[in-house]
Structure 1
Amino acid sequence: MKFLLFTATLLAFTGAVHAESIYCSFTEPFLTVTYNSETNKITVTSPDEGSAETTGHVTYQKGGILKITADGITQYLEVNLTKEGSDGMSDFVYPFEGSISNQLYGGCETDTLKKQQPKP
């Protein structure tokens, strides 16, 4: 269900109805990756390295995977729209699992689908 809601939201981007951002949190190392669909920008923030921004390219993969790449960068972000994620530190349950080049796993949320406290 959340996959369908997220897909519908992304499809609305092309009609300029509503912009949506994806926010992914990772630990070991600590990173935050944000993709803004309105500006088509990826921002990577690290407490040690600061932040960097570049233009992103979004493709849809089989199995509900959203892949975000950037020119000249070999690393890529994949958001699995069918799996819940975790930031590796908190008890929050993220609506989506994120991975950087299938090596670093974390949790992702959007403007409309937010992380939640675990259910008791």
Structure 2
Amino acid sequence: MLFKPTNWKGWGYFTADDYGMHFPSSPSPSDKPEFLYVSWGKVENIEGEKLYGRVYGVSIELNISQREVEQHFSQVYKANKLLDFKQMRGEYFLIAYPNNAFQKLPVVVNRLLEIKAASI
């Protein structure tokens, strides 16, 4: 299943399947991205929550290395640092997308949890 911003035609934030999640390395649809595969065993909490103050969105905790963070989430890492959004929760790297990126946040969260639960 592909999850992408509602106003972008050719770019997805990530995909999810029976094996895990796949995150592209580039936010530009014109670049050919490499994908970071994260198995469901390395995906912890997926939830809707407040991000950046009053903005709601989906957050995903990933057990990945700092090298993987720098290679695949460098733009997110810089933006979150500027917004003073905490990148780590315990040993998990936190990736988050604001609600305006998805049409129905609860549907996205529930669908990801269903895919993860069916795969474990």
Bigger share in helix: 2
**Which structure has more RCO (C-alpha within 8 Å, separation ≥ 6)?**
2
Normalised by the size of structure 2, how large is the TM-score? 0.37
